Amino acid sequence: MSTLVVQIPERRRLSARGAAVPEGATSDLGTEYAYALTGDGLALTGHGQAAAALLPKAATVVAMLADSDVSWHRITLPKAPAARLRAALAGVLEEALLDDADDVHLAVAPGATAGQPTWVAAVDRAWLRAELAALEKADVFVERIVPASWPDDPPSGHFAESGETRADGAEPGVLLHWAHADGVASLRLQGALARALVPRPAPAGTRWSATPGAVAAAEQWLGMPVNVMSRPERALQAARSLWDLRQFDLAQRTRGARALRDALRKFMSPQWRPVRFGLAALAAAQIVGLNLWAWHQRSSIEARQKGIQAAVRAAFPRASDLDIQRDAAAVAQREVQALRTLAGKPGENDLETMLMAAASAWPADRPAVDTLRYESGRLTLAAAGWSEQQLAQFRSVLQPAGWQVESNGGQLVLSRARAGGRS
């Protein structure tokens, strides 16, 4: 399942030295986003920089925040219901936050347990909402928000160009993003602060990396080689973390088409691959079963038809074999009628048979019929002055024998009932 990792531009800040604001600090129509694209979450399939509307399409979109846009706080997670956890966190962090608690978005570390120490990430709420809204306006819907780095043990240090143009026109400096068990710090290599905060020698297992443009400065500062990690590769690494800052009021609330799309994306994720295979196998089994059942039914019908045709051939050897194949029942009916005619016996729809049937059901208190008319299996009898009771009795006698009686004004129409019920 494809994943698009979008780097949210660093938040605009005032510069005490009059330095220029980094490009892309605000999200407007001209903002370009650095992105990384992967098909399996491990290898890059594409990267670059584009406006929000021109970003590649992917099944999942992850937004990454710069190191300097997230502050970290170590607290004991309050024991509070999920609906009141955000307020409880604000109360615990009230004195530690530089801004008002209502202006800060908070997110708890994955797997945090109430009553146990945990890390809480804090981000400017209004700024983050504006960034998400700008992306959604371009139909880029972020499902997860991850930090570029987070408190971790063993520590990791990543060197990257600062992106700022110095007031004296010199080349941009290099920042060290130092993530360790006690927090995350972004430090300039110039000066003594970085030397004072980063232990020498570094703790065992420390991972060092640098962007291609910062490798030389990093190796000179450390006095040892470092791994080269481009910005897209670091974004991909951040996307593989368990962190998700879309919590509380920024948690996804999908409805309608968004909910259907998200459910489809989840269904197409690797975790649901066994379910998809199972459903496909079930559908294939159903199709095969239906075809086998249809083949069996078709074979049974063909066997019955051949049996009927064989019986008709045996009973009427003079009948045409082609006619029997076309309609064996019609041939049998025709041949029986011919034999009946030769024997001088009336058929079921002949006048004599119909007169006998009508006579058997004729009411005793009614005079003989005045007029009658016969045409192709239909016998019309004059029945003026018949009561409803007499009509009902006439029908009740003839219907069990397979006759149909219709009342039309002062006439009764007698015919054979059609198969499947009355016409």
> Residue 23: pLDDT above 50?
no
Question: Does 171 fall in a domain?
Answer: no
> Residue 172: pLDDT above 70?
no
Question: Does 46 fall in a domain?
Answer: yes
Question: Does 144 fall in a domain?
Answer: yes
**Range with top average pLDDT, 140-149, 315-324, 374-383:** 140-149
Q: Which domain holds residue 324?
A: 281-342
Strands (E), 171-328: 174-180, 183-188, 207-210, 227-228
Question: Does 188 fall in a domain?
Answer: no
Same domain for 253 and 295, yes or no, is no
292 touches 284 (CB < 8 A): no
Lowest model confidence (mean pLDDT) among 52-56, 178-182, 197-201, 417-421: 417-421
52 touches 42 (CB < 8 A): no
pLDDT in tens, 301-338: 999 988 988 988 888 888 888 888 888 888 887 888 77
Share of the chain above pLDDT 90, in %: 43
> Residue 24: pLDDT above 50?
no
Which tokens in the block code for residue 102?
Answer: 């209502």
> Residue 357: pLDDT above 90?
no
pLDDT in tens, 358-378: 888 888 888 888 788 888 788
> Residue 20: pLDDT above 60?
no
Q: Classify residue 18 as left (phi > 0), alpha (psi -120 to 50) or beta.
A: left
> Residue 178: pLDDT above 70?
yes
Question: Does 51 fall in a domain?
Answer: yes
Identify the CATH number of the domain in which residue 379 sits.
Answer: 3.30.1360
Question: Does 376 fall in a domain?
Answer: yes
Same domain for 125 and 254, yes or no, is yes
Domain boundary among 294, 327, 342: 342
pLDDT in tens, 66-89: 999 999 999 999 998 988 999 999
Same domain for 214 and 358, yes or no, is no
Domain boundary among 342, 357, 392: 342
Same domain for 48 and 137, yes or no, is yes
Mean pLDDT of 251-257: 65
Mean pLDDT of 397-415: 85
Question: Does 358 fall in a domain?
Answer: yes
Same domain for 378 and 241, yes or no, is no
Which tokens in the block code for residue 117?
Answer: 């120490």
The mean of the pLDDT values for the chain is 85
The C-alpha angle 185, 187, 191, rounded to 5 degrees, equals: 145
**Range with top average pLDDT, 167-171, 289-293, 344-348:** 289-293
Residue 255 is predicted with a pLDDT of 53
Residue 76 is predicted with a pLDDT of 93
Same domain for 106 and 239, yes or no, is yes
Residue 21 is predicted with a pLDDT of 40
**Range with top average pLDDT, 91-105, 197-211, 252-266, 409-423:** 197-211
Rounded distance between C-alpha atoms, residue 306 and residue 327, angstroms: 11
60 touches 3 (CB < 8 A): yes
Identify the CATH number of the domain in which residue 220 sits.
Answer: 3.30.420.380
Same domain for 146 and 87, yes or no, is yes
Residue 259 is predicted with a pLDDT of 65
> Residue 295: pLDDT above 90?
yes
Same domain for 403 and 381, yes or no, is yes
Mean pLDDT of 121-149: 93
Domain boundary among 291, 324, 342: 342
Same domain for 247 and 370, yes or no, is no
For 224-250, b where at least 16 C-beta lie within 10 A, e where not — what string? eebeebbbbbbbbbbbebebbbbebeb
Same domain for 217 and 243, yes or no, is yes
Rounded distance between C-alpha atoms, residue 417 and residue 96, angstroms: 94
Residue 386 neighbours by CB under 8 Å, 6+ apart:
363, 366, 394, 407, 412
Domains in the chain, number: 3
Question: Does 359 fall in a domain?
Answer: yes
Same domain for 19 and 107, yes or no, is yes
Share of the chain above pLDDT 70, in %: 89
407 touches 395 (CB < 8 A): no
- Which secondary-structure segment (H or E) carries 413? strand 411-416
Same domain for 310 and 363, yes or no, is no
